[in-house]
Amino acid sequence: MDAEDRQVTHQNIQALHILTLKIVTLGFELEIITPMGKVNYNHNPFILLDRSVDQYLDLHENNADNYKLTEGVSKIIEAIEACNKTVQFISEQRKKNGTSLSQTYMLLRLEQNLDRLLLITDVLDNDKKFNGLRFLEYFVQIIINEKKKNSLRAFFSANFSFIAYKITEHGGVRGEKYITTTPKEYWQMIKAAMGGGFIISFIAVIKNLLTRLDLAPFWQGFAYSINYSIGFQLMHEPILRLLPGNPHLPLLHLQLH
């Protein structure tokens, strides 16, 4: 290995180490570790990734042969796949339980860093094969990001588009509750709709009573908001339904599936 190859290898190993630290740090943020539930830390995918990278770094420092280095890279790839499965699991949970901007950002950063880490392992595995398509996609993305790094329009467009997609995705899951496929589900929907209509009738009566109160515009709007929020929460807790006049939630579910 000549001096130039050693320098490239050294830079890739540095990038491997730095990216691993970033991934492990993100993997132990509260927004990531909480949806995973009770996980044995000895089997935590992010800890396994850190261990496999440390083992590879030790092999490299001790000038191990190519077979051991390739085996070490294989363990890193297995750990990356486990981390990707964890990210995918959290994303699936997010569809049911909702999400936050911070969690969405962390999951996006985890996906990006794991993809970059996989690209580096493709260089270090010594199998004389290289995924050129993955590298080309990454290279094109770097050029686009470099070109638009100072563009506020691109920044806001990308972030708002991503947030809008996540809202749509969550809405599609909610829309599943408004679709029936069996007679049993049909009758359950009728009962839930009747319960929702019953609560709505009280919301309307209370709203009319609130109009009789001599309140300032702000407090009147606040009273209306509290009335509606309590009513819809009462419908949500016993799993009642208010059938939408505009069937956007069922349509979102059908589009996403």
CB under 8 Å to 121, separation ≥6 — which residues? 16, 73, 76, 77, 80
Distance CA 56, CA 43 (A): 19
Q: Which secondary structure element, helix H or strand E, spans residue 180, and what is its range?
A: none
Do the beta carbons of residue 187 and residue 125 sit within 8 Å? no
Tokens (6 digits) for 242: 């208010």
DSSP letter assigned to residue 238: T
Q: Which secondary structure element, helix H or strand E, spans residue 257, and what is its range?
A: none
Highest-scoring range by mean pLDDT, 56-60, 91-95, 183-187, 247-251: 56-60
Predicted local distance difference test score (pLDDT) of residue 251: 45
Kindly list the domain boundaries of the chain, sorted by start residue: 3-147, 172-256
Tokens (6 digits) for 107: 């999951």
Predicted local distance difference test score (pLDDT) of residue 254: 42
Mean pLDDT across the stretch 77-102?
81
Chain segment 65-88, per-residue pLDDT in tens: 888 888 888 899 999 999 999 998
Chain segment 13-64, per-residue pLDDT in tens: 898 899 999 999 998 888 888 887 777 777 889 999 999 999 998 988 888 8
Q: What is the 3-state secondary structure (H, E, C) of 23-34?
A: HHHHHCCHHHHC
How many whole angstroms from its chain centre is CA 211?
43
The DSSP string of 19-86 is HHHHHHHHHTSHHHHTTT-S--GGG-HHHHHHHHHHHHHHHHHTT--HHHHHHHHHHHHHHHHHHHHH
Percent of the chain beyond pLDDT 70? 74
Distance CA 66, CA 197 (A): 70
